[in-house]
Chains A and B, each alone.
Chain A
Amino acid sequence: MKRIEKHPILPAEDREKVAFTYNGVVMYGYEGEPVSSALIANGIKTFAVHERGDAPQGIYCANGQCGHCTLIIDGFPLKSCVTPLKPGIDVRVMRHRPELPADDRPLRHYEKKEISCDVLVVGGGPSGLTAAIELAKLDFSVLLIDDKENLGGKLLLQTHKFFGSIADCYAGTRGVDIAVLLEKELRSYENATILTDTSVAAIYKDRRAGLFIRNKNYAIVDFEGMIVSAGAREKSLIFPGNQLPGVYGAGAFQTLVNRDLIKSSDRVFIVGSGNVGLIAAYHALQAGIDAVGICEILDSASGYKVHVDKIKRMGTPIYLGHTIVSAEGDSKVERVTIARIDKNFQPLLETAKTFEVDTLLIAVGLSPVDEFYDMAKKFGFTVMKAGDANEIAEASSAMFGGKIAGLKMAKKMGKEVRIDNSFSEKAKILKSRPGQIFPSQEIVLTKNFRPIIFCNEEIPCNPCTSVCPVDSIRLNPKLGNIMDIPIFENECTGCQKCVLICPGLAITLARKIDDQWAEVLIPHEFIPDFEVGEKIPLMSQEGDFLEMGETLKIQYNKKHKTRLIRVRASLKNATKIAGIQVQRPSGAHPLPEPNFDYAPDHSTVCQCEMVPVKEIVDYIKKHHVSDVNQLKKIRVGMGACGGKTCSILLPRVFGMAGVNWSEVAHGTKRPLSVEVPMYAIINEKQGE
């Protein structure tokens, strides 16, 4: 079974399993988990077989948006990532187009469901929840919808502690725990209604939205105002082999690993060194999956330095100035190849390195899900956007931004609301990109513990300063806001609070034992594979091996779900020791010789309809294409996802065909944004 049986942060309980069949073979899974996850846990990674070229399809969005995971479940073609497992179901692979079941019972029941509310909040992630809370507080009737079973959005996938400030956005608390707090608060308001497992299928001109509810109903909502907090979707990437099962987004990976506790892979490679890619590597390691490497096309990593450092300490190399060359394998990813780039960002194939992995995660950025906002704006509705749908940033800033959006919406709807002037300033800081990096100071240890702070890049974060009982950690006031660097002065009680709360795991405590030895207390978010007395590899801030140190004590702090490892190390290294290596270097090595077949034409642009890049480029040239809509003829954007994946790639594809994107007419976006079965549209009762 490919399940995560123990996890340092998440509760991995062994529940009773139920039986189902896959192509006639009996398998077991948890009742209620997505069928796709149950299958992956049983080692099944190929779902549908696409009509075009018999291409195998694996999990792709894990989010109900694409159609890659469609399977024939009890005779019906269903997206398995949003279909809960029930005992005894019959699951079969879908080859090509499905057969329409001959369900010829006459129509018995028809109902038009209508709902009304003051404000419709689309998306119950960090910004949607805080926006809805503000509006509910001000007595508006709020309808918050979310397409997942549980509220929280990306918070639910975030096992790490949050950046930001404690006062404004729960800094130092883990995302998964913040989601619970916010949901509880929203549910305490009677005038707030929550619909989970519900998507917006369309925004209509007559100021209504069509909602697809729990896979079986469709309701039309009449609203006064709308807040779009639908988050972001992951950008896709063009490279040979990008259509293979095993290539998917970091978000889909986190869904499988952190939400469903599925050990979806043994070894992953990651493209992109933003916070999403870095955290995906960290989550992989926490789940017992090798994070073999991260490649980044730029010459520096783009995430927070504390994340970058942490990943390097754990033993995952980051290959800067490298691009993905190909993903290859027999019907699934078996190896990936990367190479250095030249000044035109083209791979230098003579520098290629091949890694044996079963999964390639794409983490090359996010794009806002703001089409509902655009549509509502076009129709002249009262609408606001918040969180990633507004601007891609950390969840800490999304929470604060949601609060502001809620207040602004209240104001637009005629409520007298005072919005504190400091709010917009704070919001701006919380979404700041990292600033300057400062050199570390020399530290001389004494017999008393003191914190060693490995946080020398300006980021919007300050919980360490809030928790120190004797106020010995403060921000060095250069900018005068929470972007400033924390510094330690005066005394330390050794209380460990700063070590436990730091989201970047960038604080240790250290003290001198004698002239040769020191004691260091290191935060560790892994289940230790070592015991007291054992020697373990100690790493510098930026991931260099320093020495093998002896484990003196392993403590577990339940509240913070963090382990504190007390080690004995040499005095000369003690102030440099920042962490413990988790993944042994051998696990991250490339093959001795690169092994790849470079075929750039074999890249896929439209994943739903399997349209290769070459076909599009040739078509653009031959048919004088000046309008994205013309590509519909070769099925680009005509699939289940409605162009959500490929539209972001088109500027580059037009560029490849020698056409300037700025002169190309954009594709028309039409409802529906998710496919809705006819029985749901008419609210026909099922199974009667």
Chain B
Amino acid sequence: MKKYDVVIIGAGSIGTPLSYYLTKKGVETAVIEKEASVGRGQNRSAIGGIRATHSDPAKIWVCQRTIDIVRRMKEEHGIDVDWLEGGYLYPIYTEQHETKLKKLLKIQKQYGLNIDWITPDAIRELAPGINREGLRGGTYSSGDGSASPLKMADAYYMLALNAGVDFYFKEEVLSLRRNGSRIEEVVTHKNRYQAGLIVDASGAHARKIEKMIGLNIPVYPDSHEAGITEPVKPFLKPMIVDIRPEKGSANYYFYQNKEGQVVFCITLNPKIPGLDTDSSSIFLPMVIKRMVNLYPRLRNLRVRRTWRGLYPMTPDGFPIVSFPKEIDNLLLTVGMCGQGFMIGPGLGEMLAEIIVDKTDQYNEILDQLTLYRSFRGDEILK
């Protein structure tokens, strides 16, 4: 039997940073992970974008905090995570989208976001060679950016290890032994754990974990496919998000990372639900056609690798960060809806304050992300 103050299930985008921030505050923390190393769930599938320009206060606040952290990572910890402050660009080609985004702009500005409508000429400066036919302008948020998911995962792993977190890899949680309103034990095939607080950061596997104690958590993963090209000299500054839907797909987005490689991802429509992450033949022709159409000079780039990752979705597209009423010592941090990579650091720092310092200054955020919301709303900007 191993005893900790906090046991986190999942060494991914959420669990690893949280373990670090908790331990830094003197909390004895363990992380249990079924894979062999950190970030091997969906973190590895993230393409690296980090933006604060969402449409709701909770994610805006958390991601702003992430950006602050990542921006300071080198200075504060001497770790280079390939942060590039290239901004996010939404080029707009239809009147309907122009209206929608301009409306959203007002809300985003209210939340203090650094985002503006820019002209086609300004877009061309940021993304030389972009298709200008029908280009009406777009929104650009210069403070957003990108970092390497590989380097971020490793950075938090090293920070956590040095802070004293115990990681247990290749251990799959077999059961959560519940006694009334408490989880008494976390049982893996190698060990048993007791903790004052259990954090479920199991990402796409949240339903499976929570079923063990009889909770029904609305997290349903679906597939997105991604790819990366060979490296070339820098030519593209921002992350480009094309929100026009097409047959077979919703939006897609791409950017050039610090290595010079273009990384891209597409949202399939209809969705492919489930936990399968094997690539299908539909993906490449679909996304590449759209990308070359939007940005013709990409045609000469060679695609190097592709992969499929999961978006652990909730019905309304917002994460669940919640202390369930039924259990006294459980915190759910699940259903990140494909944004765990950008939510993780900010959320980890915030939750450490909530758990350790018992602060109530984030109650508004917790209220928005509670398990007990209606889940009927829909995110304006996904």
Q: Is A208 an interface residue (CB 8 A)?
A: yes
Pair A633/B150 contact, Cβ less than 8 Å: yes
Q: Cβ of B303 and Cβ of A681 under 8 Å apart?
A: yes
Does B44 make an interface contact (CB < 8 A)?
Answer: yes
The stretch from A93-101, A158-166, A281-289, A585-593 touching chain B is A93-101
Complex-state Cα separation, A378 to B131, whole angstroms: 41
For residue B169, CB closer than 8 A to chain A, the reply is yes
Q: Contacts A205-B280, A665-B37: A682 and B289 contacting too (C-beta < 8 A)? A: yes
Closest-by-CB residue of A relative to B298 is A678
The residue of chain A having its C-beta at the shortest distance from the C-beta of B155 within the complex is A633
Evaluate contact between B44 and A629: CB separation under 8 angstroms. yes
The CA of A629 and the CA of B305, in the complex, are separated in Å by 15
Residues of A within 8 A of B154 (CB): 623, 630, 633
With a CB–CB cut-off of 8 A, which chain B residues contact A625? Answer: 37
Q: A664 to B230, alpha carbons, bound, how many Å?
A: 28
Check A107/B293 contact, CB under 8 A, given A629-B40, A629-B44, A682-B288. yes
> Is the CB–CB distance between A107 and B278 below 8 Å?
no
Contacting residues, chain A, for B280 (C-beta < 8 A): 204-206
Identity of the chain A residue whose Cβ is nearest the Cβ of B150 in the assembled complex = A633
What is the bound-complex CA distance between A77 and B279, given in angstroms?
28
In the complex, whether A170 has a CB less than 8 A from a CB of chain B is: no
- A106 contacts B133, C-beta separation under 8 Å: yes
Interface residues of A in 80-130 (CB under 8 A from B): 96-107, 110, 112
Contacts of B284 in A (CB 8 A): 202, 210, 218, 681
Shortest Cβ distance from B358 into chain A, in angstroms?
33
Residues of B within 8 A of A642 (CB): 304-305
| B303 engages A110 (CB within 8 Å) | no
B212 at the interface (CB under 8 A from A): no
Contact B306 A670 (CB under 8 A): yes
How many inter-chain residue pairs (CB < 8 Å) link A and B? 149
The answer to whether B302 touches A100, judged by C-beta atoms less than 8 angstroms apart, is no
Does A184 belong to the interface (CB within 8 Å)? no
**Residue A204 contacts which of B281, B298, B305, B307 (CB distance < 8 angstroms)?**
B281
Known: A205-B280, A210-B281, A672-B303. A97 touches B232 (CB 8 A): yes
Q: Contact at A671–B306, with CB atoms within 8 Å?
A: yes
Give Cα A478 to B297, complex, Å: 69
Q: Write the chain A residue with the least CB distance to B284.
A: A681
- Check if A76 is an interface residue, CB within 8 A of chain B: yes
> In the complex, which residues 256-301 of chain B have their Cβ closer than 8 Å to any Cβ of chain A?
260, 276, 278-282, 284-285, 288-289, 291-293, 296-301
Q: Which of B40, B298, B300, B305 has the most C-beta atoms of chain A within 10 angstroms of its own C-beta?
A: B300
Cα A104 to Cα B150 in complex, Å, equals: 32
A624 within 8 A of B: yes
**What is the CB-to-nearest-CB distance from B245 to chain A, in angstroms, rounded to a whole number?**
18
Interface centre among B36, B233, B281, B301 (most CB of A within 10 A): B281
Q: Which residues of B contact A98 (CB under 8 A)?
A: 232-233
Given A204-B280, A665-B37, answer yes or no on A218-B300 (Cβ-Cβ < 8 Å): no
Q: Are A671 and B301 in contact (CB under 8 A)?
A: no
Q: Which of B276, B293, B303 contacts A205 (CB 8 A)?
A: B276
Please name all residues of chain B whose beta carbon is closer than 8 Å to the beta carbon of A101 when the two chains form the complex.
297, 300
Residue of B nearest to A111 (CB): B285
Interface assignment of B151: CB less than 8 Å from any CB of chain A:
yes
- Chain B residues near A106 (CB-CB < 8 A): 131, 133, 293, 296
Q: How far is the CA of A106 from the CA of B298 in the complex (A)?
A: 11
Which residues of the partner chain B approach A671 to less than 8 Å between Cβ atoms? 279, 305-306
As a 0/1 sequence over residues 670 to 684 of chain A, the CB contacts with chain B under 8 angstroms (1 = contact) are 111001111101101
Chain B CB within 8 A of A580 CB:
no
Taking the nearest CB of chain B, how far is it from the CB of A674, in angstroms? 9
- Contact (A677, B301) CB under 8 Å given A104-B129, A105-B296, A626-B36: yes
B304–A675 CB distance below 8 A: yes
B336 CB to closest chain A CB (Å) equals 21
Q: Is A377 an interface position by the 8 A CB rule?
A: no
Question: Which of A362-380 touch B at CB < 8 Å?
Answer: 378-379
Cβ–Cβ contact A678 & B285, under 8 A: no
Cβ-closest chain B residue relative to A635 = B259
Check: B213 CB closer than 8 A to any chain A CB: no
Partner of A679, one of B36, B170, B292: B292
Q: Which residues, 196 to 245 on B, are CB-close (under 8 Å) to A? A: 229-233, 235
Is B157 located at the chain interface by the 8 A CB criterion?
yes
Q: A220-B281, A684-B299 are in contact. Are A626 and B37 (CB under 8 A)?
A: yes
Q: B28-41 vs A: 1/0 string, CB under 8 Å?
A: 00000001110010
The answer, yes or no, to whether B158 is at the interface (CB within 8 Å) is yes
Q: A677–B302 contact, CB under 8 A?
A: yes
A640 at the interface (CB under 8 A from B): yes
Q: How far is the CB of B13 from chain A (nearest CB, A)?
A: 15
Interface of A is mostly: loop
* Minimum CB–CB distance for A388 against chain B, Å: 25
Q: Given A106-B133, A630-B154, A681-B288, do A675 and B36 touch, yes or no (CB 8 Å)?
A: no
1/0 per residue, CB under 8 A from A, across B122-138: the answer is 00000011010100000
Q: Which residues of A contact B129 (CB under 8 A)?
A: 102, 104
Question: Does A629 lie within 8 Å of B37, measured CB to CB?
Answer: yes
Residues of A within 8 A of B232 (CB): 77, 97-100
B303 and A676 within 8 A (CB): yes
Q: Which residue of A lies closest to B256 (CB)?
A: A100
- Contacting residues, chain B, for A679 (C-beta < 8 A): 292, 299-300
The minimal Cβ–Cβ distance linking A219 to chain B, given in whole angstroms, is 10
**Docked pose: A156 CA to B6 CA in angstroms:** 64
Chain B residue at minimal CB-CB distance from A622: B158
Interface membership of B161, Cβ < 8 A: yes
B133: which A residues are within 8 A, CB to CB?
A: 106
Contact among A77, A104, A672 for B304, CB-based, below 8 A: A672
The CA-CA distance from A317 to B183 in the complex, in Å, is: 73
Given A97-B233, A681-B285, A681-B288, A675 and B150 touching (CB < 8 A)? no
Please state if A206 and B281 are interface contacts (CB–CB under 8 Å): yes
A415 is an interface residue with CB less than 8 A from chain B: no
When distances are taken between beta carbons in the complex, the residues of chain B under 8 Å from A627 are 35-37, 40, 169
Q: Check B303 against A107 for contact (C-beta < 8 Å).
A: no
A632 at the interface (CB under 8 A from B): yes
8 Å CB contact of B36 from A208, A665, A682: A665
Residues of chain B with a CB closer than 8 A to A205's CB:
276, 278-280
- For A107, list chain B residues within 8 Å (CB): 289, 292-293, 296, 299
Pick the residue among B150, B278, B281 that contacts A632 (CB under 8 A): B150
CA distance A107 to B245 in the complex (A): 18
With A106-B296, A110-B289, A678-B292 known as contacts, the answer to whether A100 contacts B306 (CB < 8 A) is no
User: Which residues of the partner chain A approach B276 to less than 8 Å between Cβ atoms?
Assistant: 205
Contact flags A200-227 to B (C-beta < 8 A → 1, else 0): 0010111010100000001010000000
Of the candidates B37, B44, B158, the one having the most CB atoms from chain A within 10 angstroms of its own CB is B37
- How far is it, in angstroms, between the C-alpha of A218 and the C-alpha of B303 when the chains are bound? 12
A633 touching B44 in the complex, CB below 8 Å, given contacts A101-B300, A102-B128, A672-B304: no
Query: What's the nearest-Cβ distance from chain B to residue A116, in Å?
Result: 12
Which of A489-514 touch B at CB < 8 Å? none
A218 touches B285 (CB 8 A): yes
CA distance A378 to B279 in the complex (A): 13
The answer to whether A678 touches B303 (Cβ under 8 A) is yes
Q: Which residue of A lies closest to B285 (CB)?
A: A112
Q: A641-688: which have CB < 8 Å to B?
A: 642, 664-665, 670-672, 675-679, 681-682, 684
A202 touches B279 (CB 8 A): yes
Could you write out 13 A-B pairs with CB less than 8 Å apart? A96-B233, A105-B296, A112-B285, A204-B280, A627-B40, A633-B150, A664-B36, A675-B302, A677-B299, A681-B284, A681-B285, A682-B299, A684-B292
Task: Kindly list the 10 A-B residue pairs having the minimum CB-CB distance in the complex, ordered from nearest.
Answer: A665-B36, A627-B37, A675-B302, A627-B36, A205-B278, A204-B281, A208-B281, A679-B299, A100-B232, A681-B288
Known A-B contacts: A202-B281, A678-B303. Give 16 more (CB < 8 A).
A98-B232, A100-B298, A100-B301, A104-B296, A104-B297, A107-B289, A107-B296, A204-B281, A210-B284, A218-B285, A623-B158, A630-B37, A665-B170, A678-B288, A679-B300, A681-B288
